[in-house]
Amino acid sequence: MRQAGRSLPEYRKLREGVAMLDACARPDMIVEITLQPVRRYGVDAAIFFSDIMVPLKAVGVDLDIKPGVGPVVAAPVRGPDDVRRLRDLEPDDVPYVTEAVGELVGELGDRPLIGFAGGPFTLASYLIEGGPSRHHEHTKALMYGEPALWAELMRRLSAITLEFLRVQIAAGASAVQLFDSWVGALSPEDYRTSVLPYTQQIFARLAEYDVPRIHFGVGTGELLGLLSQAGADVVGVDWRVPLDRAVQRVQPDTALQGNLDPAVLFASWRVVAERTDDVLARAEAADGHVFNLGHGVLPTTDPAVLERLVEYVHTRTAG
């Protein structure tokens, strides 16, 4: 449940006067914010508090995360010089990540900590567009028009992503999730030629470590088959594709994560319970299931509903 913490008053209080990226660079804040939703909701795993833009900031990209907007990049990446300036990430660039993960693993005990990073297409889109984008037009212009430059950008971003995940694994994260959130903007053929080779390599390199690998994107109904060819152990599905149908699209032996519509949490409890039952029933067709929302928690979600949801899923899946 990404951004589960954002719905909490204790999160908003802690974040008062602290910019998002400053919070992501302070081990004390990372640890506390990561633990808040675990304490309040009793979820089975914690997701590391950071952002997909943190490693890019750490290699010197001038960017900010604006409240209610998202990542904003001062000088969008559009040409060969911009791409060449993207240097590799070194563990020493993110000492606060190593420190916070280590501390969290101690605090969490048996409860797994999920580390994460942004996928190369999604990072490229923020860098090239300069911020959140509806149509990803500059990104696609570069991808279609300058394939060699695109390949170089993908190589560099994949290396940064892989290293960011390795740092978290080395510090003790017990699973990793790759958020290539916006790949749903691509046709299957474009995804296959321009993104899949890079994510495939990321997952292949991660196979050296003994940690489950999760892969997630939004609006990926038509891409689920290809997405699962990238090689993760678990594929995250948004709410648009029922899980029993998603099973038919992914590779055999792939577990699924998802996929309650986050907006359902605004309906009456009867509806929430019915929809949750439906997700759990459809998930029985899958080779393993991680119950989750189909995307992040909406910031105005009532924490009491999330609390009840976690309890309900625990009761329904006990034994």
Instruction: State the binding site for substrate.
Output: 2-6, 51, 126, 181, 295
Q: Enter the tokens of residue 119.
A: 């996928």
Q: Which residues contact 317 (CB under 8 A, 6 or more apart)?
A: 280, 291
Beta strands in 85-137 (DSSP E): 113-118
Show contacts with ligand CP3 in window 194-253 (CB under 6 A).
Answer: 218
50 lines the binding site for ligand CP3 (CB under 6 A) = yes
How far apart CA 28 and CA 49 sit, in angstroms, is 11
Between 9 and 48, how does the x/- string for binding to ligand CP3 read (CB under 6 A)? ------x----x--------------------------x-
124 lines the binding site for ligand CP3 (CB under 6 A) = no
Q: In this chain, which stretch among 60-68, 138-146, 224-232, 237-245 interacts with ligand CP3, using CB under 6 A?
A: 60-68
Q: For 160-163, which contacts have Cβ atoms below 8 Å and span 24 or more sequence positions?
A: 160/55, 160/56, 160/59, 160/86, 160/88, 160/89, 160/123, 161/55, 161/117, 161/118, 161/119, 161/120, 161/123, 161/202, 162/117, 162/202, 162/205, 162/206, 163/55, 163/88, 163/89, 163/90, 163/91
Out of 27, 70, 172, 188, which residue is the one contacting ligand CP3 (CB under 6 A)? 70
How far apart CA 86 and CA 56 sit, in angstroms, is 8
67 lines the binding site for ligand CP3 (CB under 6 A) = yes
213 carries an active-site annotation: no
* Residue with Cβ nearer ligand CP3 (67 or 319): 67
130 lines the binding site for ligand CP3 (CB under 6 A) = no
Out of 35, 58, 61, 65, which residue is the one contacting ligand CP3 (CB under 6 A)? 65
> Where does this chain bind ligand CP3 (CB under 6 A)?
2-6, 15, 20, 47, 49-52, 65, 67-68, 70-71, 116, 122, 179, 181, 218, 296
